[in-house]
């Protein structure tokens, strides 16, 4: 058996202790603001299979450090904008860890949506299944 020093649940709890978490109703309200950008950190297969939040920007969790760093050849200008960034995944574990990473790297105004896409849909937030109408990656 692998001898790990910290498990995923403890990692997520440690992340939650130092990041901003936004309740889903507040996130739905904030998403109406043009200066707010929802960042979807799920795998592309999840996004295509399960649907997505309209106008959300897809950034797979495995690429976030590379897309955020202006010195990286993979840098995405969307992260250079002065916006409010709300991150989500399906439940909220990956987005909690992602927000911990991006705030450590220096991204300001970043938070994650408590309960993720599951809570968003249960709360009646806008949702789409048709990937063809989604915004292209910037």
pTM: 0.91
Within 19-126, residue ranges assigned H as helices are 24-30, 44-50, 64-68, 93-105, 116-122
The angle that helices 8-18 and 93-105 make with each other, rounded to 10 degrees, is 50
Q: What is the pLDDT along the chain (138 residues), one digit of tens a residue?
A: 889 999 999 999 999 999 999 999 999 999 999 999 999 999 999 999 999 999 999 999 999 999 999 999 999 999 988 999 999 999 999 999 999 999 999 999 999 999 999 999 999 999 998 755 444 433
Walk me through the domains of the chain, giving residue ranges and CATH numbers: 9-129 (3.40.250.10)
Bridge partners of residue 40, in order along the sequence: 58, 88
């Amino acid at each position: 058996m692998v001898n790990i020093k910290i498990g995923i649940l403890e990692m997520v709890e440690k992340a939650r202790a130092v990041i901003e978490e936004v309740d889903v109703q507040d996130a739905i309200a904030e998403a109406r603001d043009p200066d707010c950008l929802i960042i979807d950190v799920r795998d592309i297969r999840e996004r295509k299979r399960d649907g997505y939040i309209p106008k959300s920007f897809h950034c797979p969790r495995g690429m976030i450090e590379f897309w955020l760093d202006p010195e990286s050849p993979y840098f995405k200008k969307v992260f250079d904008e002065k916006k409010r960034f709300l991150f989500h995944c399906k439940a909220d574990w990956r987005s909690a860890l992602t927000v911990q990473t991006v705030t450590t790297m220096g991204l300001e105004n970043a938070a994650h949506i408590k309960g993720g896409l599951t809570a968003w849909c249960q709360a009646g937030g806008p949702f789409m299944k048709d990937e063809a109408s989604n915004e292209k990656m910037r």
